[in-house]
Each structure stands twice: as structure tokens, then as C-alpha cells.
Amino acid sequence: MDNDVVLWIVVATALAFDFTNGFHDTANAVATSISTRAMSPRVAVGIAATLNFVGAFLSLEVAATIASGIIDADLVTPAIVFAGLVGAIAWNLATWYFGLPSSSSHALIGGVVGAAFAAEGAKAVYGDGLIEKVAIPALVAPVLAMFTAGLAILLAYRIVGRQHPGTVARGFRHGQIVSGSLFSLSHGTNDAQKTMGIIFLALVANGNLAAGDSVPTWVVVSAATAIALGTYVGGWRIIRTMGSRIIKMDPAQGFAAQGAGAAVILAASHAGFPLSTTHVISGGIMGAGAAKRVSAVRWGVAGNIVVAWVLTLPAAAVVGAVTYGVTRLFGDGATGPVVVALALVLALLVAFSRRLVAGRTLTAEG
Amino acid sequence: MAPRFAQVELSHLVEVVWVSIAAGIFVTVAFSFVVLGVARSAEARRTGSGGMALAFGALAVLALIGFAAAVVFGVNTMLTKG
């Protein structure tokens, strides 16, 4: 009975994480489209929410990596998964509060790894899986997006450079409807699957499923719905950082950044790498900006983002480990997760009441 | 066992790198030709150069087809594996 209570708390927390992932990472998908005025904020967020929902149904490769490639599923308990999720949500909320586009994916992986390490020691963590499936792609992806976007925008300027700037801007604004949509779709395929993987892991840990089973449909549908709702609610603070504080973009740069980002994420989803969509689009934006003029990139803001990237895995791991320790203070039953979950809900309520105020301000500004 | 695992992942990573570069650049270049074709076609129409307008219009259409095909191919490739 206690185990089932913990399982349902885990499922609810995982969906809450998915929701925060949606509103945290909305910026990735739509910030460039909004900042170049390719789409109004409401339309951009609406399209992103819809395509995040659709994208969640397209592939399950990343879910498989999360469920079985990073920690030992046989040693995992629902309490470990819960503590990891709390670590991820706490880090997401902290970086959201400061407007830093850190990685929800790495927060999730860090939180679960930290909690598993605290509970079972090093034997619970697949070191090689963590390095090869998370750390190396995490280093490669932003650089890859930066290089691709940079090269793409240089070629684009060479092709359209002698045309009237207004005509070129108008053309690429139309193109950004497609590139932004493609990026939203790729975000749904990669990010919603992480939550599916976590819920699947909890169901296996609780004995409801075997490790070789497929992901149940209700898990796919609920994860898709949560990320779409979160996306629609939107993360306006981070939209500001992504859309205008790294560089002031023209529509061609926005198109190149989104096109390169979508290409990287779709290719990575195909291979089963749980990439950070935030890292990818940030790299794309920096590449598109630096290719035009290195000084166009606000490297101070970019530096803050890199610091947040570096801190995400260890910080979420520490919070995950501490949360596991706190839940264990209340014994093996459901009391610990219930207490922590209530505290988390309270924190989310406080955070959202402030977010709504910030959202109104930005929308009014256009 | 571990080295074999590493090799498999590395080959996937290399695939992701070259596919991303090729696709990312192709999509932007193709759409740039759409913009170029539309702009030059409109300009040619204004100056009364019907042949040039037609040629650049055709360039825009072909580039748009290439751009759309790349988008559909990318999504479809992922669907077939997933």
C-alpha cells in the first residue's frame, strides 16, 4: 500500500517536472521567433505547445536511455526516483527564477544519479553510460549547433546579401514559422521522453512492469499533455534571455539557429541521446551571432549560461541526494515523500504566482 | 564489454555530428535560395524582365521543394526508428 502511494507521488512529481520542463524550455523553441517578430508571443507559444504534444509521440529511444542506460534499474526504488525528480525540479525553479536557461534534462539526470548514489553507492550508477550518453553529447551538442548555425548563416548572407534587407527579413520571418515549429517538434521528441523514461523506471522499481516491457500508452499521453500544458503556460523570463540578451538577432540568424538546433536534436533523438535542448539552441544562437560579428554576442550573458550548464548536473545531484536523505528521515514508508511533495507543491504555487506577473509584463511589451 | 559499448556509442555520435551539420546547413541554404528567388523574381517583374522573373520564380519553387523535402525526410527518419 505504502509502495503504491510512493509510486503515485512519483508519477505526479514526474508530470510536475514535465510541466516545469515545458514552461522552462518554451524559450528554446519560441524565443528567437518572438524576438525577430516572426510570430506574436501567444501564437508562438500556442504552436510550440501543440508541436511539443505531437513530438512526444514520435520516438521512444531517449526514454529507453533514461530508463536503462544511466543507472541500474534493479537497484532503483520509487523513493530514489522521487528524490531525483525533486532535485531536478528544485534546480529548474532556481534557474528559472534567475532567468538562466540551464538544462532540464541534465537536472533530471543529475537528480536521479545523485539520489541513486546516496541510496546505493557508486554501484547504482553506470559511469560509462553517464559519460558516453550524457556528458560527451552535452559537450558536443552546443558546439555542433554553434558551428552549424555559424556556417549556415554565413552561407545565407552570401546568397541573399545583395537583396533588399526588408525583403530578406520578411522572407526569413516566414521561414521561422517552419524552423520554430520544427524545433518545437524536436523538443517534444527529446524532452517529453525523459519523463516517460522516469515514470517507466518507477513502474519497474515498484514491480508493475518488467524492464523489457514497452512504455505504456497512458505514460506517453500524460507526459505529452504535461509538457504541452507547461509550454503553453510559458517561461517568459527565459524567453527574454534567449531571445534578446545573448544577441540581437535578425530573422535570418533566428532561422539558422533554429534550423541547426532542430537538426542536432532530431539526429540525437534518433540515436537515443538525451540532449539538452537548451544547450543546443543557446549554441545555435551564439553561432549565428558570432558568425556575423563576434562582438554581437553578449559574452557576459553567455558566460553566465555556461556556468549554469556546468553547475546543473552536480547541483541537481546534490539536491537529489539530500532529498533522498530527508525522505529517509521519516522511515521507509510514504510519509517522507508525502511531506517533501507537499513542500514542493507549496514552492511551485509561490513560483507560479510570481511567474504570471512576469508573463503579463512581457506580453504587454510585445 | 565496456569498450564495445563505447565503440557503438561513438559511431552514433559521429553519425549525429555529420547528419546535423549536413541537415542544418542544407535547410538554411535551401531557404536562402527561396528568399533569393522570390526577391529577384519580384524585382525582375517590376523591371519588365519576364524571362528572368520566370527563372528566379522556378529557383524559388525548386528550393522550396528541397527545403520541404528535407524537413519531411528528417521527421520521417526519426519516425521509422522510433
CA distances from A266 to A180, A227, A261, B77 (A): 13, 18, 9, 9
Q: A–B: how many Cβ contacts below 8 A?
A: 146
pLDDT of residue B35: 95
pLDDT of residue A365: 34
Q: Please name the residue that has the C-alpha cell 517561461.
A: A235
Nearest to A152 among B28, B33, B42 (CB): B28
Q: State yes or no: pLDDT of B26 exceeds 70.
A: yes
Instruction: Please tell me if residue A348 touches chain B, with a CB cutoff of 8 Å.
Output: no
User: Which residues in chain B are contacts of A260 at CB distance < 8 A?
Assistant: 20, 24-25, 28
Vertex A267: Cα angle to B29 and A275 (nearest 5): 115
What is the residue-averaged pLDDT of chain B? 84
Return the amino acid letter for A125: V
| Rounded-to-integer distance, Cα A276 and Cα A123, Å | 26
pLDDT of residue B4: 40
pLDDT of residue A237: 58
Coil, helix or strand for A221? helix
Instruction: Please tell me if residue B54 touches chain A, with a CB cutoff of 8 Å.
Output: no
What percent of chain A has pLDDT above 70? 85
Q: Are A66 and A280 in contact (CB under 8 A)?
A: no
**ipTM score assigned to the predicted complex:** 0.87
Higher pLDDT, B34 or A188: B34
> How far A30 CA sits from the closest chain B CA (Å)?
18
pLDDT of residue B61: 96
| B16/A264 touch (CB, cutoff 8 Å), yes or no | yes
Cα B69 versus chain centre, distance: 8
pLDDT of residue A260: 94
State which residues of chain A have pLDDT below 70: 1-3, 24, 26-29, 59-64, 67, 99, 101, 234-247, 294-297, 301, 351-352, 354-366
Flag whether the pTM goes above 0.80.
no
**Which of B14, B17, B32 to substitute to test the interface with A, most A CBs within 10 Å?**
B32
Q: Are A323 and A115 in contact (CB under 8 A)?
A: yes
Return the amino acid letter for A309: W
Q: Which of A43, A51, A103 is nearest to A262 (CA)?
A: A51
Q: Which positions ≥6 away from A267 have C-beta within 8 Å?
A: B15, B16, B19, B20, B23
pLDDT of residue A150: 94
Q: Are A241 and A150 in contact (CB under 8 A)?
A: no
> What φ, ψ does residue A331 adopt, rounded to 5°?
95, -170
Q: Which positions ≥6 away from B28 have C-beta within 8 Å?
A: A152, A153, A155, A156, A255, A256, A259, A260
pLDDT of residue A364: 32
Q: What sign for the dihedral angle of Cα A276, A246, A314, A331? A: negative
**Which of B33, B65, B78 to substitute to test the interface with A, most A CBs within 10 Å?**
B78
| B36/A58 touch (CB, cutoff 8 Å), yes or no | no
Nearest CA in chain B to A264: B20
Instruction: Please tell me if residue A70 touches chain B, with a CB cutoff of 8 Å.
Output: no
| B39/A171 touch (CB, cutoff 8 Å), yes or no | yes
